[in-house]
Amino acid sequence: MSVSFSELGLSKPVLDAIADQGYETPSPIQAQAIGAVLSGKDVMAAAQTGTGKTGAFALPIVHMLNAHPQRPKPNHVKALILTPTRELAAQVAQSVLLSHKYTNMNSTVAFGGVSINPQLKSLRKGSDVLTATPGRLLDLYSQNAIKFTDLSILVLDEADRMLDMGFIHDLKRIMKLLPTKRQTLLFSATFSDDIRQLAKQFIKDPIEISVTPKNAAATTVEQHIVHVDKSNKSKLLATLIADNKWQQVLVFSRTKHGANRIAKQLNAKGLTSLAIHGNKSQGARTKALSDFKSGNLRVLVATDIAARGIDIDLLPNVVNYDLPHVPEDYVHRIGRTGRAGATGSAVSFVTNEDGKQLKAIQNLIGQHINVLEVAGLSEKPSTQAPIRAPKPKRPKRVKRD
């Protein structure tokens, strides 16, 4: 029997904000994490993007801070949410804003790629909740724009991705600036050895919550691979989009240059496409995402890191133009479709050079992925290797985007 938000002990202003967003019952991560956060203890939670995890920390934080509604002092911050990417920071900040709609609280967001001046101005009046990326937070601190003496809550969101992106040194620098007496909440897709090592340094006796089987691919996603020659990838992608009449497709490229090339080739075939990656300005990335969500853009081509914060309800199609280097990223990628009970489709292009990556992915998820034949374009598949039982693997470091 599912619980209601009111049974979790949230106050009326928070419940009214939830009702405005149209949510009736908490998601599994929210049902477990909200009470744990309200207990005041440190929390470690394993949850994928798209499971409602932002609400799992934003809602109880707003409840707790609103219970002691003193205005924050100039430049002071009461709660800090750290995220790995600009897109995720913007998305989390929006969720926080909606959560405190019926309170007198204020919140702000800070990330790179845009002018620092509006962020400096916003922080001058103090902030109940600040959502930030590590690099920009340290920039602001170096300009005396943030004071942490009143900070009582820290959230590390998508901690696994922060480690993958090489933010460990920034995180350690930030931790030294924060009060030792605080509540720390860590959210990660998995509890890898590296995450547990991180937790030992920053978290005290946490409540552990896990609502997703480790490295499980969503059952609502139909997965296929197409064996294809490298030179035919672009033609295959255009064919799949046109023949299946796909109107909204998220395509993953391994590199920034590759993303640009794919978008250019699709546009030449009359399929409206844009690329997003770390070399694009924040304004360009935000506009591309907005156009994609609204349906004005048919294809969004993204690198893994740029796509980390993309949260689109009912996204029907994901294409892995390039297989990811890190097998766990396959699960993150295809997890962007088939959400909220809807079914989705994930198609991965596999060339002769991709044998090792495909084997690693199939070992990770514990299943063979069905082969899709495309007339005139797909090649005969190589012999499939037997699948091992899933085994925890230390994720490789990836370059910052």
> What are the tens digits of pLDDT across the range 320-373?
999 988 787 888 788 777 555 556 889 999 999 998 899 988 888 888 899 999
Identify the band that residue 264 occupies on the pLDDT scale cut at 50, 70 and 90.
very high
Residue 389: count of CB within 10 angstroms of its CB: 6
Q: Is the pLDDT assigned to residue 1 strictly greater than 60?
A: no
Name which of 33-37, 57-61, 194-198, 280-284 the model is least confident about. Answer: 280-284
140-160 mean pLDDT: 94
258-285 mean pLDDT: 89
Percent of the chain with pLDDT over 90: 53
Name which of 6-10, 345-349, 381-385 the model is least confident about. Answer: 381-385
Query: 94-124: buried (b, 16+ CB within 10 Å) or exposed (e) per residue?
Result: bbbbebbebbebbbbbbbbbeeeeebbebbe
Residue 231 tokens, joined: 């030179």
Name which of 140-149, 369-378, 382-391 the model is least confident about. Answer: 382-391
How many whole angstroms separate alpha carbon 102 and alpha carbon 65?
13
Identify the band that residue 220 occupies on the pLDDT scale cut at 50, 70 and 90.
low
Among residues 35, 68, 365, the alpha carbon closest in space to that of 213 is found at 365
225-254 mean pLDDT: 93
| Cβ partners under 8 Å of residue 288, min gap 6 | 274, 275, 276, 280, 297, 300
Residue 275: beta bridge partners? Answer: 301
pLDDT at 366 (0 to 100): 83
How many whole angstroms separate alpha carbon 166 and alpha carbon 243?
41
Q: Is the pLDDT assigned to residue 75 strictly greater than 60?
A: yes
pLDDT at 215 (0 to 100): 47
Where is pLDDT greater, at 5 or 382?
Answer: 5
What tens digit of pLDDT does each residue of 288-315 get? 888 888 888 999 998 876 666 566 666 8
Among residues 391, 29, 393, the alpha carbon closest in space to that of 208 is found at 29
pLDDT at 194 (0 to 100): 79
pLDDT at 306 (0 to 100): 63
Q: Is the pLDDT assigned to residue 392 strictly greater than 60?
A: no
Residue 240 tokens, joined: 């799949």
